[in-house]
Amino acid sequence: MEEIYQILETVKDPEIPVISIVELGIVREVRKQNGHVEIDITPTYSGCPALDVIPVLIREALASEGYDDVHVKNILSPAWTTDWISESGLQKLKEYGIAPPVEKTSDKSFLTDGPKKVPCPFCNSENTKLVSQFGSTPCKAAYQCIDCLEPFDYFKCH
Ligand SMILES: [Zn+2]
C-alpha cells in the first residue's frame, strides 16, 4: 500500500506540475486486493480540463511499476476542498508562484468579512489587487502585486 502511495506521489497535477495529486488531497483511498488496485479520487474542480487526464496519468504511473490491473474511481461527494492540500503542498504552491488559499473553507468568516488580502507569493506584500476572477485556468484567479508588480495566480478557495 505504501508503495502505491509512493508511485502516486510521482503523479503531478497536470496544471501545477510541482505538486503531486497526493499533496493536493485528490487521492481519497487506495484499496489493494491480490493484483487488483482500486483508487478513489476526488477531482479538485469540476470545470478543470485536467479532470480526465488524472486517471490516465495514475494508470500510466502504476503500469510502469508493474500494476496493470488498476481501477480509478471518481468520488464526487464530499466535494474536494482546498483544506485537503497538505502543508508541503501549500509550500510548493507558493514556491511555484501561486498564492495558496488564504483561509480554510471551514472558516466561515470569509462569507461575512468580504475578500481577504491575498499575499504576494514573491515578496509577501499584502498590497495586491485582483485582475481577473479567472487566471490561467478556471481554478485560479489572476492577481497582481502592487509592490513588486509581479502577476501571480491565486488558488481559489472552494
Ligand atoms: Zn510582490
Tens digit of pLDDT at every position of the chain (158 positions): 889 999 999 999 887 889 999 999 999 999 999 889 999 999 876 555 556 789 999 999 999 999 999 999 989 888 888 889 999 999 999 999 998 877 655 544 444 444 568 999 999 999 999 998 877 677 788 999 999 999 999 987 55
Domain count, the chain: 2
- Asked if residue 35 belongs to a domain, the reply is yes
Domain of 6: which CATH number? Answer: 3.30.300.130
Give the cell for residue 146.
Answer: 502592487
Q: In the prediction, which pLDDT does 115 show?
A: 57
In a domain, 20, yes or no: yes
Label residue 29 left, alpha or beta by phi (over 0 means left) and psi (-120 to 50 means alpha): beta
Same domain, 74 and 97: no
User: 100: CA distance to ligand 1 center in Å?
Assistant: 14
Classify residue 146: in a domain, yes or no. Answer: yes
Regarding whether 75 and 112 lie in a shared domain, the answer is no
Give the pLDDT score at 37.
Answer: 96
Query: Ligand 1: distance of its center to the CA of 104 in Å?
Result: 23
Cα angle 43, 47, 50 (rounded to 5 degrees) comes to 60
Does this model's pTM top 0.85?
no
Residue holding cell 502504476?
A: 62
Output the CA–CA distances (angstroms, integers) from residue 33 to 26, 30, 67, in the order listed.
Answer: 21, 10, 12
Q: List the domain range (segments joined by +) for residue 62.
A: 2-80
Q: Could you count the other beta carbons within 10 Å of the beta carbon of residue 120? A: 24
- What residues have a C-beta under 5 A from ligand 1, the ion? 120, 122-123, 125, 145, 147-148
Q: How far is the CA of 118 from the centre of ligand 1 (A)?
A: 11
pLDDT of residue 3: 93
pLDDT at 114 (0 to 100): 47
pLDDT score recorded for residue 123: 95
Q: Are residues 19 and 74 in the same domain?
A: yes
Residues 12 and 75 reside in one and the same domain: yes
| Measured CA distances, 52 to 41, 44, 64, 140 (Å) | 12, 12, 19, 18
Q: Tell whether 86 is covered by a domain.
A: no
Residues 63 and 109 placed together within one structural domain of the fold: no
Q: Is residue 110 part of a domain?
A: yes
User: Ligand 1 center to residue 25 CA distance, Å?
Assistant: 28
β partners of residue 98: 153
- C-alpha 128 to ligand 1 mean position (Å): 8
